[in-house]
Amino acid sequence: MIDLSALLPPPVLFFALGFAAGALRSDLAVPDALAKGLSLYLMLAIGLKGGAALAMGASAALLPTLAVGILLSLLMPLPAFGALRLAGGLDRDTAAAVAGHYGSVSVVTYAAASGILSARGVSYEGFMPAVLAAMETPAIITALVLARGVSDGIFSRRLAREVFLNGSVVLLLGSFAIGWLGGAAGKAQLAPFTEALFPGALCLFLLEMGLMAARQLRAAGRGLAPALIAFALTMPLLGAAFGLAAGHLVGLSPGGVALLTVLAASSSYIAVPAAMRMALPRADAGVYVTLSVAVTFPFNILVGIPLYLWMAGV
């Protein structure tokens, strides 16, 4: 008999509930302040748990995994940009902005996958939150090179600050360092906060993300060309294939391979949109936000994560 609880864990079901409520125009809503607080909590908890795990057992795979993660983030926008220019018919700035989203990563997609692994009792390398943080920004550099060319000057001081000091990266790396410094004692002290509350917070946050995805798709989705929707559904599969191969190449555990696969398949909707609004103001935000939030994110939560975990053998 098929175990539906493994295929459809509570976080996925709450996302589906939010998506259905948004599609049916329900007045269900999660207050903005609460949604922001939940986002901060998830990043903080991921960082603390990762740092504590690393402190209790360093791994020789850390540096190779960081290296392949950064390379994936730098290089994944290249095929995305080519496909968007050839088949999607987008202008250069918009194609580059979209491509940057698909080289970067989604913290919430990672959180959902790590939550499912924890519920199944599957372990993974403690340094994976550091890999998550390292993969957020390289794709932004590639996107700007694709849009402007190397000779045009990529960064202003303001943009560099936005890219390298954006809140999600600072909180992830900072909490990771605190978790590492605290070690086993710090992990035990914070367990009621980082462990017990995490599943419920993830469910509530994914409820909000489901609502937002449905409303974004309803508002802008009708204007998306079929080729762009097809891109947003197939690009995660390409990223997953590269992430799976990279995870095996550096010798990660099955849980680590699964998370690297999820990271390579995800697309950003926090760090990259903020940078693209500043760096490429002529790019169409209605395209890059809708594809990432309303098409790829639901696909990854409802279909992609179970598929990627199966690909990794967990």
Model's pTM, two decimal places?
Answer: 0.81
Terminal Cα-to-Cα distance of the chain (whole angstroms): 18
pLDDT computed for residue 49 by the predictor = 83
pLDDT computed for residue 1 by the predictor = 40
* 50 and 130 Cβ atoms separated by less than 8 Å: yes
Tens digits of residue pLDDT in 128-141: 988 888 888 889 88
Query: Which residue, among 81, 72, 147, 128, has the nearest Cα to 103 in the 3D structure?
Result: 72
pLDDT computed for residue 2 by the predictor = 41
pLDDT computed for residue 303 by the predictor = 93
Looking from the CA of 80 toward its CB, the CA atoms found within 13 Å total: 39
- Report H helices in 221-292: 226-249, 254-265, 271-279, 285-290
In this prediction, the residues of the chain whose per-residue pLDDT falls under 50 are 1-2
pLDDT computed for residue 3 by the predictor = 52
Map tokens 């980082």 to a residue. Answer: 194
Give the Cα separation of 308 and 262 in Å (integer).
6
To the nearest 10°, report the CA torsion of 50, 52, 56, 59.
30
pLDDT computed for residue 227 by the predictor = 92
